[in-house]
A = this chain, B = another copy of it.
Amino acid sequence: MKTNAGRFFEDYRLGETIAHAVPRTVSGGERALYHTLYPARHALYSSDEFARACGLPAAPVDDLVAFHLVFGKTVPDISLNAVANLGYAEGRWLKPVFPGDTLRSESTVIGLKENSNGKSGVVYVRTRGLNQRDEAVLEYVRWVMVRKRDEAAPAPEAVVPPFAKSVAASDLAIPAGLDFTGYDFTLAGEPHRWDDYAVGEQIDHVDGVTIEESEHMLATRLWQNTAKVHFDATNRPDGKRLIYGGHVISMARALSFNGLANAQMIVALNAGAHANPCFAGDTVRAWSEVLDKAETSAPGVGALRLRLVAVKHGTEPFRLKGEDGKYLPGVLLDLDYWAVVPR
């Protein structure tokens, strides 16, 4: 059998590190495509000149480009037989990625817990994205529920790794050289600075984008994510293609420009839930809530901890869960991240 059937739950060993295949060099092409697939307008990723004025050598590719590329490589090894993508934690962007950089990924298994039904189990991995100089550009923890190949296979000792509920402000990796003291708010698109945001503040980002089959497939392929549920309409009885959760993340983040234009760089991913599946024809909207604020040691640079929620059209903003404690059916994404903002 020459094809990859993917790993099943009993194939993972605690502590092993899996080197994922297919390194990828990024160029201006990926940058342009990101602007084509999402209504992305954060100036630091759009303009080399703006990025230089902020102390960087050029505009990096969007932080989510780095995330999707690193994540996509893990799919054949981690989630080909996954039943569900359960969560993210302790995500940190460690270095910006620039056109010309080559990324690869590796994941260490940090936890394993078989489900009581004996049919599947939860795999916890810490994934790192590395550039061509073997520098880590990104790391995050992710856990997924994976089927067993053989239900009779013995359960491993259950290990559930402890996670920080969110990345501590003191652990945020601010890109070397980043300096917002000369930040141009006019070119960035909004006047709101760190001081203008209050913990608890909620922002409805107003705009919506209706999702098309070809667009989510173009995006998902761009990250070399091969999960067949996204591409093959014959895969589900209802003929629907499930949209890659990362497509919704990028769409919501891009929509959040309207109200958070100065939340320039994502520096940490504290938590994330793909609350409900998204399908073509859905119109995606987004709202945010300020969860926390922190200072940083970089000149003029503050940090905001933000909840970013994507909903389908028809679901009111600022509501997440029903009385049963479950996400409302129209909620697609509940993401908790840190971004840097000019002070």
Q: Which residues of A contact B (CB under 8 A)?
A: 2-4, 19, 21-33, 35-41, 43, 46-50, 59, 76, 99-100, 102, 104, 132, 186-190, 192, 196, 203-210, 212-215, 217-219, 221-222, 224, 226, 228, 231-235, 241, 258-261, 283, 313
CA distance A24 to B39 in the complex (A): 13
Oligomeric state, in copies: 3
> B234 near A207 (CB under 8 angstroms)?
no
A50–B29 CB distance below 8 A = no
Q: How far is the CA of A217 from the CA of B214 in the complex (A)?
A: 11
Given A28-B99, A32-B29, A222-B35, A210:B241 Cβ within 8 A? yes
* Chain B residues positioned under 8 Å from A47 (CB to CB): 22-25, 102, 104
Q: Are A48 and B102 in contact (CB-based, < 8 A)?
A: yes
Given contacts A102-B47, A231-B210, contact A41 B190 (CB under 8 A): no
Q: Are A2 and B259 in contact (CB under 8 A)?
A: yes
Q: A25-B49, A32-B222, A234-B208 are in contact. Are A258 and B4 (CB under 8 A)?
A: yes
Q: Closest CB of chain B to A153's CB: distance in Å?
A: 23
List chain B residues, Cβ under 8 A from A29: 27-33
Q: Is the CB of B213 within 8 A of A228?
A: no
In the docked arrangement, what's the CA distance between A39 and B38, Å? 20
